[in-house]
Structure 1
Amino acid sequence: MTVLDDIVAGVREDLEERRKQVGLSEIVERARAAEPARAFDLDADFGVIAEVKRRSPSRGDLAHIPDPGTLARLYAAGGARAISVLTEARRFSGSLDDLDSVRAAVDIPVLRKDFMVDEYQFHEARAHGADLVLLIVAALDPTQLSEFHALANDLGMTALVETHNEAELEIAMDLGAPLIGVNTRNLKDLSVDTGRFAPLAARAPKGCTLVAESGVAGPADVAGYADAGADLVLVGEALVTGGDPEAAVATFTATGQEHRARVVS
């Protein structure tokens, strides 16, 4: 069993507990009653998706975050394009309460970052105010991926389709996903190789918005991703451990915009 398989198994178990408390029909109604999802601008300048992240399977505990909303406001003040909120509990110590806190604190789009493997989770995400959701190609078969991508769109949310290799990128491209992530973390051993991004970015279709995920420790990493074609970077660990998340988001954004402008020109 891979790390991903183990995480997904836990996600399914926890989901069943939530489903016992709130059935599918009720969560669907809550999603319908929620305020409309906020649009995520795919054509804006280079930006940062800043993540609320307490811990990770690879590094363990990262930061004590008593109020995710306060952190989200700092991210927004630094110019973040969106806030990513980990809601997986077992490996990342996240929760839907964190999503609620962030949604109430900021006006920019919010991504529910979780392992989405069941229809219920998409209605649940919308009911808790998510504007974007993560779809991990490695966790879904092509039919599920297509159905879930359509469901996210039907609910007004933008799907970030995450890939790790050429085969997964081809699947995302066949799906016609406008927002594609390239995660440079190996899901089998959790190692990171930022060099994986450039070859995949070179194969991505023109007009697609590319998100570089994992491996950002500082401005040099952001510059490298931007030079290779990234339109956004998703950053968590460096922001929650760096001491000044607002300034870090601003620096990463400025660095990425400078380097992306060079590539475009």
Structure 2
Amino acid sequence: MTTILDKILDAKKDQIQELLKHTIPEQTNSSARPSLFDLLYHSEKLQVISEIKRASPSKGLIAEGVNPAEQASLYVEAGAACISVLTDRPFFQGTFDDLAIVARTVSIPILCKDFIIHPIQIDYAKQAGASVVLLIVAALGQEKLVTLYKYAISKGLEVLVEVHDSIELDRALQLDAKLVGVNNRDLRTFQVDLSRTEEIAAIFPFGEERVLISESGIWDSADAKKVASYGASGVLVGESLMRSGNVENALRSLQVKREVITS
């Protein structure tokens, strides 16, 4: 049975062939940004990675006409720790241009959110101004995961490694990943369950100077308090902020006190 993730990865291969046809322009957004790991690890509050998200396979159009610069500025004013920018076009209507616009607008960490399966995508992310890239364990064999992780680190980027279950967590820890995200959404079915964060947190090595980030399905302070109680240092939030009539109130409601777990 073909899953949604399979369809996304098949389309991604076609996009990569197009990227490989072009010479990457010289980097224009090379400003140093704070370390996302440091921001999360040393914070007493749950930090918010705020996402610019035009659409998704499960929800369709969310904010098709969003102005990336304006949305990024709203996020910064509200206290976001990092801005995530979707750069997948076929399924999320994102672009590397969106990423570059955000990079020119703000000075906080910027995450390139994409289904990265080739080094050329990391090159484009770096050129556009990202300081963090996402690697999804479910989308990669271990050899390729290791290769892409090392390549991103060699480019001076931080890497958020995304997992969905205990087997994927073990694979992420084999990389010695410091930033680990739990996607509460199963990328094969796109069903969301916050208990995923609880399950991973129960076996997460918090005492090894790593941070856990809960991704997807965070809508309000109750959700934020729940994942914070599990030990999450941050949340990655897109749709609820994009649909919010008041970004500042919505974002600040998620900045609850975090539970520091050392074992």
TM-score, reference length from structure 2: 0.92
- The residue number in structure 1 matching 2:248 is 246
Q: CA deviation at 1:197?
A: 1.1
The question of 1:11 aligning with 2:12 is answered yes
- The residue number in structure 1 matching 2:26 is 30
Which amino acid letter does the alignment assign opposite residue 118 of structure 1?
H
Which amino acid letter does the alignment assign opposite residue 240 of structure 2?
A
- The residue number in structure 2 matching 1:40 is 35
Q: Deviations over 1:26-54 (max 9, x none)?
A: x3x735x7515524242231300000001
Which amino acid letter does the alignment assign opposite residue 260 of structure 1?
E
Aligned length: 254
Tell me how far apart the structure 2 counterparts of residues 74 and 36 of structure 1 sit (CA, whole Å). 20
> In 1, are the aligned partners of 2:29 and 2:104 still within 8 Å (CA)?
no
Which amino acid letter does the alignment assign opposite residue 47 of structure 1?
Q
- The residue number in structure 1 matching 2:75 is 75
- The residue number in structure 2 matching 1:143 is 143
Q: 1:30 is paired with a residue of what secondary structure? A: coil
Which amino acid letter does the alignment assign opposite residue 51 of structure 1?
E
> In 2, are the aligned partners of 1:138 and 1:163 still within 8 Å (CA)?
yes
Give 1:1-265 correspondences, 5 Å limit. 1-22=2-23, 27=24, 30-31=26-27, 35=30, 37-42=32-37, 43-45=41-43, 46-206=46-206, 207-253=209-255, 255=256, 258-260=257-259
> In 1, are the aligned partners of 2:220 and 2:253 still within 8 Å (CA)?
no
Q: Which runs of 5+ in 2 are unaligned?
A: none
Q: Deviations over 1:189-246 (max 9, x none)?
A: 1110111111211211122111100111111111100001100000000000011112
> In 2, are the aligned partners of 1:49 and 1:83 still within 8 Å (CA)?
yes
Q: Which is helix-richer, 1 or 2?
A: 1
Judge which range, 230-239 or 199-208, deviates more. Answer: 199-208
State the superposition RMSD in angstroms.
1.6
TM-score, reference length from structure 1: 0.91
Name segments (4+ residues, structure 1) moved above 3 Å: none
Q: 1:203 is paired with a residue of what secondary structure? A: coil
Tell me how far apart the structure 1 counterparts of residues 76 and 90 of structure 2 sit (CA, whole Å). 27
Which amino acid letter does the alignment assign opposite residue 42 of structure 2?
A
Judge which range, 203-212 or 81-90, deviates more. Answer: 203-212
Which amino acid letter does the alignment assign opposite residue 59 of structure 2?
R
Q: Structure 1 pair 125/259, CA: closer, same or farther in 2 (3 Å)?
A: closer
Tell me how far apart the structure 2 counterparts of residues 11 and 44 of structure 1 sit (CA, whole Å). 36
Q: CA deviation at 1:260?
A: 2.8
Q: Deviations over 1:115-164 (max 9, x none)?
A: 00001111111111110000000111111111111111111110000000
Which amino acid letter does the alignment assign opposite residue 213 of structure 1?
E
Which amino acid letter does the alignment assign opposite residue 251 of structure 1?
S
Which amino acid letter does the alignment assign opposite residue 35 of structure 1?
S
Q: Which runs of 5+ in 1 are unaligned?
A: none
Judge which range, 5-14 or 82-91, deviates more. Answer: 5-14
> In 1, are the aligned partners of 2:29 and 2:103 still within 8 Å (CA)?
no
Tell me how far apart the structure 2 counterparts of residues 252 and 213 of structure 1 sit (CA, whole Å). 13
Q: Deviations over 1:78-109 (max 9, x none)?
A: 11000000000011010011101111111101
Judge which range, 237-246 or 57-66, deviates more. Answer: 57-66
> In 1, are the aligned partners of 2:231 and 2:258 still within 8 Å (CA)?
no
> In 2, are the aligned partners of 1:67 and 1:101 still within 8 Å (CA)?
no
Q: CA deviation at 1:65?
A: 3.6
> In 2, are the aligned partners of 1:37 and 1:156 still within 8 Å (CA)?
no
Judge which range, 233-242 or 187-196, deviates more. Answer: 187-196
